[in-house]
Amino acid sequence: MSFRSKKELEVVLSKLKGFQEASFQLEQYATPSSIAADWIWWMAMNAEVNVRIFLDAASGPGIIGIGLLLLGAKKIYFVDKDEKIMKTCIENYEMIKKEYEIGEAEFVTEDISLFDQEVDIVVQNPPFGTKEEHIDKVFLEKAFSLATVVYSMHKYNTKRFVEAISRDFNFMITHHWRYDFPIKATFSFHKKPVKNIDVGLWRMEKR
């Protein structure tokens, strides 16, 4: 691992391009570099990154998957149904690849329900389900069908839902974290320049 600190990783991730034209319907908010670095660094320190294959579901501009590649992941499947943001994700990957020796990436522009490749771990910051009801459930169900370890971020007030669906699919919550997720004013109805959303990140493992 060429990074000596979490902060160093955060700085590199902060230079990646984000959403240029975010979709309100798709709830497109890029994972902040500070949260992504905290998440990925913890995984690396717990020997979950090196030479593993990941699905970065609802990848957006690719900050989580690229962070994993920087810390030694073997391959990332970046999956997002938005063609515009997938182009940005590819640009970010190519930019990082010029500076660092990183693993393989495959870019898949399709609905998450269609993805069927074998992976070791799923990481995802899916839509919260505010605009399209139950879309968060769709992402979790797909993740549980693909890997024995799943990291998924959701609004913290859906904690009971995450716990219940984990039990339903015979997954155990081993760790969880809570973050203030800053969302910059993107749409005309946003009244404040930055709004903090209370989110949770859950690590779930097949029993």
pTM score, two decimals? Answer: 0.91
The residue extents of the domains of the chain are 6-147
State the average pLDDT for the chain. 90
Q: For residue 24, what pLDDT band results from cuts at 50, 70 and 90?
A: very low
- On whether the CB atoms of residues 129 and 101 are closer than 8 A, the answer is no
The confidence score (pLDDT) of residue 127 equals 87
The confidence score (pLDDT) of residue 129 equals 57
Beta strands in the chain (DSSP E): 53-57, 75-79, 104-108, 121-124, 149-155, 171-184, 194-206
| 6-147: CATH architecture | 3-Layer(aba) Sandwich (3.40)
**What's the rounded Cα separation, in Å, for the pair 199 and 25?**
19
Strands 104-108 and 149-155: unpaired
CB atoms inside a 10 Å sphere around CB 42: 17
Q: In the numeric block, which tokens belong to residue 192?
A: 């404040």
**What's the rounded Cα separation, in Å, for the pair 130 and 111?**
18
Distance of CA 146 to the CA centre of its chain: 15
Q: What is the pLDDT of residues 61-111, one digit of tens each?
A: 999 999 999 999 999 999 999 999 999 999 999 999 999 999 999 999 999
The confidence score (pLDDT) of residue 192 equals 56
> What is the edge-to-edge ordering of all strands in the sheet holding 194-206?
104-108, 75-79, 53-57, 121-124, 149-155, 194-206, 171-184
**Residue that wins the pLDDT comparison between 98 and 188:** 98
**What's the rounded Cα separation, in Å, for the pair 61 and 46?**
25
